[in-house]
Amino acid sequence: MEDTIILYPSPGMGHLVPMVELGKLILTHNPSFTITILVTTAPFDTGSTSSYISGVSTATPSILFHHLPTISPPSSLTPFELTFALPRLYNSNLRHALQTLISQDSRPKASVIDFFCNPSFEVFTSLGIPTYYFFTSGAGGLSALLAIPTTHQTVVDKIKDPNTSIDFPGVPPIPTPDLPEPYSDLEGIPYKSLFSAAISMPKSSGVLTNTFIEFEPRAVKAISDGLCNPSLPTPPIYCIGPIVANSGEDQDNECLRWLDSQPSRSVVFLCFGSTGLFKAEQLMEMAIGLEKSGHRFLWVVRSPPTDGGTKSSLAKPEPDLDVLLPNGFLDRTRGRGLVVKKWAPQVAVLSHGSVGGFVTHCGWNSILEAVGAGVPMVAWPLYAEQRFNKVCSVEEMKVALALEESEGGFVSADELEKRVRELMDSERGKRVRERVMEMRDGAKAALGEGGTSRVALAELVESWKKG
């Protein structure tokens, strides 16, 4: 146990995968460590975590998974509320598991907790375990989170005005409609949980964030200079990204074989995360826009939500493309377009030489994957902090173009056609492409020998070895 690092991710593939990749990175700096990942179970669909965990266990024996006993949360909470409420409900099981682990040997070197797991901070620290946070998004999002106590009153005053914006340190002004989802209810569990995390993080041993300094220099400087909350200490910040999962096992996928036959940088890839969904009317409109654009495309389509929302909490059946897409669409676009059902190996697709653009929901993992592959984006955010990410990626990092939405978030066929053409054909699209290639090179440098992210993680691991 004395050579163990404990990692505690939030449920769901979007948080589990970066935490596993963090564990692998730690092992590259010190192979003698054992990584123990504590796994909790959510009462909603979190992706195919069990097969993923099994694969990691086989490939990397130094990463151990410890499943905490499942709990039965209140049925009155929505999946979104549960994401924030579950860690507190798991605290007694967590404490018991940690006490058992500690009693078997000695104390772990350190623990790294997902920021969603903030309620566990008190458990780890009460047992004398040095505790760090892992913020799975970027420095801009971290800056806004740490600033919540100081911006709260401004948010209260402005939140109902859709024509105003909120200033956070180191990021562009964020229009109130683009604030992260928890801001929609300042009395709700999600916002209160973020407020609590903003108070606890400065007391931690440090905060790791999945970005690189060259990608978000203003936000990193704002945090390091203590501008987010001058009344609290500034925790050490470790920019250790981009952490992107390796999808080497997906190299024989149908869509990759199709991409092999397409011209260089000619294909627009449309994919919206593991849980992003569109209503049937929107899917129909997207198909019309793609056909009219004249561009080659690879499009991942999922069945529409049954509740009218934009994200799924339950596994969905395979989409019926004949019903969801315009009559004759698949025949008319055959050869220049490919529609795949439910899933595609995103990292491998973005890294393919035929892909020249990416229409994305702006999940942070997707943004980093696109930047790492040098692929410019069209930003189509759906939920969570994705609208915030859109503002930063368009206005600050300048690696994406924004879609114009009408009432209720609907995007017309004409608008999608226009943005695809702009990304692939225009001078503005060319500037975004050049910018994202600069950032691709910056990401490689940050992770390379002597790079900022590599040095930051090496220094952290070295401090654990000595501790």
| Interval 357-371: pLDDT, tens | 999 999 999 999 999
Q: Where is pLDDT greater, at 44 or 26?
A: 26
Q: What is the pLDDT of residue 46?
A: 74
Look at the block and give the residue holding tokens 């596993």. 20
Distance CA 258, CA 337 (A): 9
Q: Determine phi and psi for 447, rounding to 5 degrees.
A: -90, -10
Torsion-angle region of 374 (φ positive above 0: left; ψ -120 to 50: alpha; else: beta): left
First to last CA, the chain: 13
pLDDT per position as a tens digit, 86-132: 999 999 999 999 999 887 667 899 999 999 999 999 999 999 999 99
pLDDT of 248 above 80? no
pLDDT of 247 above 60? no
Instruction: Name which of 44-53, 70-79, 252-261, 283-292 the model is least confident about.
Output: 44-53
pLDDT of 2 above 90? no
Task: Please report which confidence band the pLDDT of residue 452 belongs to, taking 50, 70 and 90 as the band edges.
Answer: very high
Burial of 60 (C-beta count, 10 Å sphere; 0-12/13-18/19+): middle
Sheet holding 267-271, edge to edge: 337-341, 296-301, 267-271, 355-360, 377-379, 400-402
Mean pLDDT for 315-337 is 94
Q: What is the pLDDT of residue 253?
A: 87
